[in-house]
Structure 1
Amino acid sequence: MSDSALLKPAEGSRHEAHHICVLVHGLWGNGTHLSYIATSLREKYSDDELIVLVCKRNASSFTYDGIEVGGERVTKEIEETIVELKRDGFKIDRFSIVGYSLGGLIARFCVGLLDSKGYFDYIKPVNFTTFASPHLGVRTPLRGYQNQVWNVLGARTLSASGRQLFTVDNFRDTGRPLLSVLADPESIFIHALRKFENRCLYTNIVNDRTAVYYTTGISRNDPYVNLEKLKLNYLPGYQDVILDPDEPYHLAQSKQPPTFSERVANTSRTVLRKAPIYAGLSILIPVAVVVFLINSGIQTLRSQKRILLHEQDDAVDGYQRYRMSWMVQDMRAGIEDVFEATNAAQQQEYLPEGLEELAEGDTAPEMTEERIASTQDTPLEKVPSSTLRRRSTASGCAPDIPTLALTPAQFAMIKALDDVGFRKFPVHIHNSSHSHAAIIVRTNRKAFEEGKVVVKHWLDQAFSI
């Protein structure tokens, strides 16, 4: 097909490839972001083993239009590609999909649509992989006005995608955010995920400026806030980049705190070193923010027009074919009560004492707004250490790693996705402060070389042909 980046055997070769691998880029992205992964797949597997489809129809500003619209575009692109391959003599009976950043959420939506249409009755789902994908959205679990400002502004600068990523949308009038429906245990999306032979994710532990560890790693905790307190355990043969998923770290021995004079000297050196940067940023940031907000407003208006056109597409041949009734087989009772408590629950950095059951994905109606709000002003230093130890033990982390103050919906997402089962590979990018791009070698830069180790590990250990 003319508008798809389809890598298939050359003309005249034997049509023996029966496995298709679909690559889905992220927000503001395009197919070139996944060039290194696509090339690595082609180098490892011959023309008669694997066909690679790099999706292109949801590129650049089209990613503003939301996970649902993006998922429908990608699904249609996959369907048309399979039809074309069949016409060319290929018999596709194995399917894999890779999502990067927002593309991981679009991939989750897409496989639900494919399964609901019966594709997985005759095509075996093999590999489902995400790289740095915000499975729990991007709402920050920080406390204070900064958290509120970011969560409010961020949700309104990226059109439908922003509302869905910040979980302030109402999906199909269900009274629930799309990400919550996407992780509902009874949904077509979770049903489809369960069918894949291999499910894995790669998550940056530091320097991911787009999607932080707790959401890309589907975790109640972020033990990597202070690496000085940890001894990281790396997998042999992967250049201190991939952590051992079974035991990624243990607590390091406590060091003597620096003296007063050492702290003053360290602070002075840091200030002097960063003074030119701060001076430049003080000029550039206000200008950049104004330009960003103006552009976001323009793109949001354009996105709204595209979404309207998408909704009006022909009901037979267009995207209306993908609109399944409610998308879930059974809507659970009491969900409104949980969402009434959401705003209060997300205001703390860590869960206060008495709400540890939230971390287990408990979405019972008795988790009322009053109960959560009554403890929302409890600072971390006032939370008993015994409580922190209980939380961390329940979450499978080392003692003294507290549970983040995520929303009840996010804890429910964690439980549902963990029940499905993902192999989680923490990634430590040392040489780049932009690990979100480095993890997949988004561009050919020396600072992104460690991403090649990540892709090598995926191909060696987590991808099955």
Structure 2
Amino acid sequence: MKQYHLVVLVHGLWGNTSHFDYIVDALRKHAEKYWSDEENQLLVYTTTLNEGFRTYDGIDVCGFRVAEEIADKIDTFEETSQITKFSLVGYSLGGLMARYALGILYKKVFFEKRRIELINFTTFCTPHVGVLAPGKNFAVNVFNRVVPWLLGNSGKQMFLKDSVRNHGLRAKEEPLIYLMSHEDSVFFKALQSFKNKTLYANVINDKRTAWWTAGISLNDPFFDINEFNGTKAFQYVPGYETVVVDRNQPIVISKVQSYNIDDEVEKNGEIDSNPDEQLHDFFFLNYWFAKMCRWIVVICTLSITAPLILAWKIAQSSMEMTISAVRVTRFLNTYSTQLLQDFFVISAPGPSSAQENAGENPGNNVEEADNMDVDGVHHHDNELVNIRPSSSGSSSLRSIQTQNTNNYNMLGKSLNDQADHLMESIYDAIERKDIHAGFLQESSSGSGVKRSEDNVLVVSIRELENQTTEQLNSKHAFDMEELIDNLQLDISPRQVNIIKSLNKIHWNKFPIYIRKTSCAHACAVMRQQDPLFEEGKIVVKHWIEKGFQIS
């Protein structure tokens, strides 16, 4: 009997299966050339039950559908062959759906019962910490209050505006994304079960899923980077230069005082008697000039495209959220008993427990396992314990999905892309940072710079992921405080806790520096064919060759 390694791909908000066409093709070609043999082959499947506006239904409901598809695919396929290895890939919101699905499957001991080895868990541009914009200024507050209500249940959950009640021993209400980060939750335990955990996150041009949330970082090492000034600021993974950044290598942050003012500042041939004041004025004016330009872009975009986009988006969102509310209500009425009620592991049995039970009572092993979850709790026969509906129910779900997919037409796709651009420009405009006291030097110069040298902070991107400002000041001497403040993010205490918790998992993290297009979020997975997306091919190539393990 042939043995298969199943790879399941989960798209993001407003997504559909075509978003993974390039990845599927590249993965299959690489597998045929290097991995597949007569007995071991790769099987790639893209989920279909959450296409289009069904992604509004919520991370939990969409995650349930993903779990249903995974289980259905595995059980159907194993009627003729055997799946021995499993990998899961999530893009954008799809990464959160995938994590929720894994929690359900882990709670039901789904993979362990079938002796399926968990190999790769990968996310591309997934907001693991949510998308609540950092900061407390007026524009940020308005944005964080209004936008969640335009994206259905998923919007509220991504902005940490929801409340989920856990019915187990820790019975209290918390935002779902925050709850999913707890170390004793089934979601956290499920992630730990994978041999290889990898994530990719954009350095620039992706404010909604910026490095701090998609890369799970307390600090922003890319505060000074744009399309033009960062090529020499980083060291890259060999063979994937100027795109895939090596986070283990140091970056060099210099104080403004060490900056050589260019000819445009010194064009009169005279230097001000107070260079510190001159430099401060230069960076102050430069910051506010850039800020004004961003708002001009937003205003122009609103003036030119707003009548079409806003009218369409408001009408569409209102209609789709109403449809989503009805759909979720009907979904919960049918499957509420199958959704997770207790998110935490009380006493997970060791790997040998099931085998010992099998040895004692081999004839009842399968039946016994099907009625037991990860806590060793037996369910009564009259309880609905399957994580997916029956075959007829599955067919019904797919039939409904096929009808709804017609809503995702070319006009809708085009307008969604325009809405993406508008949202990104608004994110960029509302972002508020203190005037920079530092900037990133060329990384090549970092090799000869001592960490103790005045006016220079040498630190790796990895080091910045889980250390607070106080910890960094203590480690690098307090005279570096002005430089370290550049890295700080004004995020909520809950977001800080999510980051600290998820960073206890061993991740292989890869910052990606996409410069040739402003659509870095789409480019990262080659969401569509575009002549400006060549850097996305490098990202996918790196994942297949270095980030994906076949066994």
Question: In which range does the TM-score fall when normalised by the shorter chain?
Answer: 0.7 to 0.9
* Residue 114 of structure 1, CA deviation: 1.0
1:118 aligns with 2:109: yes
Deviations 1:17-56 (A, max 9, x none): 4210000000000111011111111111136421011001
**Aligned match for 2:325, one of 277, 280, 304:** 304
* Residue 281 of structure 1, CA deviation: 4.3
Match of 1:249 in 2: 251
Match of 2:238 in 1: 236
5 Å-filtered alignment, 1:210-221, equals 210-221=208-219
Deviations 1:146-194 (A, max 9, x none): 1111111111001100000000101136310000111111100101111
* Residue 265 of structure 1, CA deviation: 12
5 Å-filtered alignment, 1:66-85, equals 66-85=58-77
Distance in 1 of aligned mates of 2:533 and 2:474: 36
Gaps of 5+ in 2: 167-171, 268-281, 347-429, 435-466
Match of 1:426 in 2: 511
1:142 aligns with 2:158: no
The alpha-carbon distance between structure 1 residues 328 and 301, as it changes in their structure 2 partners (threshold 3 A), is: same
The alignment partner of 1:135 has SS state of: coil
The alpha-carbon distance between structure 1 residues 161 and 463, as it changes in their structure 2 partners (threshold 3 A), is: same
Match of 2:536 in 1: 451
Q: Which amino acid aligns with 2:241?
A: Q
**Aligned match for 1:62, one of 31, 54, 60:** 54
The alignment partner of 2:177 has SS state of: helix
Gaps of 5+ in 1: 1-14, 314-318, 331-346, 352-386
Equivalent residue pairs, number: 394
* Residue 390 of structure 1, CA deviation: 3.2
5 Å-filtered alignment, 1:6-155, equals 16-46=2-32, 48-87=40-79, 89-121=80-112, 122-155=115-148
1:440 aligns with 2:525: yes
Distance in 1 of aligned mates of 2:151 and 2:7: 29
Decide whether the 8 Å contact of 1:98 with 1:107 is kept in 2. Answer: yes
* Residue 234 of structure 1, CA deviation: 1.3
Match of 1:8 in 2: none
Decide whether the 8 Å contact of 1:199 with 1:421 is kept in 2. Answer: yes
* Residue 433 of structure 1, CA deviation: 0.4
5 Å-filtered alignment, 1:401-412, equals 401-412=486-497
The alpha-carbon distance between structure 1 residues 246 and 271, as it changes in their structure 2 partners (threshold 3 A), is: closer
Decide whether the 8 Å contact of 1:391 with 1:402 is kept in 2. Answer: no
Decide whether the 8 Å contact of 1:209 with 1:434 is kept in 2. Answer: no
The alignment partner of 1:111 has SS state of: helix
Distance in 2 of aligned mates of 1:269 and 1:156: 30
Between 249-258 and 108-117, the greater mean CA deviation after superposition? 249-258
Match of 1:184 in 2: 182
Distance in 2 of aligned mates of 1:110 and 1:218: 20
The alpha-carbon distance between structure 1 residues 36 and 267, as it changes in their structure 2 partners (threshold 3 A), is: same
* Residue 272 of structure 1, CA deviation: 11
Decide whether the 8 Å contact of 1:20 with 1:51 is kept in 2. Answer: yes
The alpha-carbon distance between structure 1 residues 104 and 248, as it changes in their structure 2 partners (threshold 3 A), is: farther
The alpha-carbon distance between structure 1 residues 301 and 274, as it changes in their structure 2 partners (threshold 3 A), is: closer
Distance in 1 of aligned mates of 2:290 and 2:149: 39
The alignment partner of 1:232 has SS state of: coil
The alignment partner of 1:413 has SS state of: helix
The alpha-carbon distance between structure 1 residues 320 and 274, as it changes in their structure 2 partners (threshold 3 A), is: closer
Deviations 1:98-153 (A, max 9, x none): 00000000111111111111123111111000000000000011221111111111
Decide whether the 8 Å contact of 1:16 with 1:90 is kept in 2. Answer: yes
Match of 2:344 in 1: 328
Match of 2:546 in 1: 461
Deviations 1:406-449 (A, max 9, x none): 11111111111111121110000011101000001000111111
Distance in 1 of aligned mates of 2:288 and 2:486: 27
The alignment partner of 1:250 has SS state of: strand
The alpha-carbon distance between structure 1 residues 300 and 277, as it changes in their structure 2 partners (threshold 3 A), is: closer
The alignment partner of 1:92 has SS state of: strand
Structure with larger Rg: 2
Decide whether the 8 Å contact of 1:24 with 1:55 is kept in 2. Answer: yes
The alignment partner of 2:90 has SS state of: strand
**Aligned match for 2:470, one of 384, 390, 398:** 390
The alpha-carbon distance between structure 1 residues 272 and 115, as it changes in their structure 2 partners (threshold 3 A), is: closer
Q: TM-score, normalised by structure 1?
A: 0.77
Q: What is the Cα-based RMSD across aligned positions, in Å? A: 3.3
Q: Which amino acid aligns with 1:41?
A: L
Identity of aligned residues (%): 33
Decide whether the 8 Å contact of 2:517 with 2:533 is kept in 1. Answer: yes
Decide whether the 8 Å contact of 1:22 with 1:52 is kept in 2. Answer: yes
Between 249-258 and 46-55, the greater mean CA deviation after superposition? 249-258
The alignment partner of 1:257 has SS state of: coil
Distance in 2 of aligned mates of 1:137 and 1:265: 31
* Residue 235 of structure 1, CA deviation: 1.6
The alignment partner of 2:78 has SS state of: helix
The alpha-carbon distance between structure 1 residues 16 and 286, as it changes in their structure 2 partners (threshold 3 A), is: same
Distance in 1 of aligned mates of 2:22 and 2:15: 14
Distance in 1 of aligned mates of 2:307 and 2:548: 45
The alpha-carbon distance between structure 1 residues 114 and 280, as it changes in their structure 2 partners (threshold 3 A), is: closer
Match of 1:371 in 2: none
Distance in 1 of aligned mates of 2:323 and 2:493: 33
Match of 1:362 in 2: none
Distance in 2 of aligned mates of 1:135 and 1:208: 14
Distance in 1 of aligned mates of 2:475 and 2:517: 30
5 Å-filtered alignment, 1:147-226, equals 147-172=140-165, 174-226=172-224
The alignment partner of 2:198 has SS state of: strand
The alpha-carbon distance between structure 1 residues 291 and 405, as it changes in their structure 2 partners (threshold 3 A), is: same
The alpha-carbon distance between structure 1 residues 155 and 237, as it changes in their structure 2 partners (threshold 3 A), is: same
Distance in 2 of aligned mates of 1:276 and 1:406: 26
Distance in 1 of aligned mates of 2:521 and 2:475: 25
Q: Which runs of 4+ in 1 moved over 3 A?
A: 257-281, 319-322, 347-351, 387-402
Q: TM-score, normalised by structure 2?
A: 0.66
Decide whether the 8 Å contact of 1:21 with 1:98 is kept in 2. Answer: yes
5 Å-filtered alignment, 1:371-386, equals none
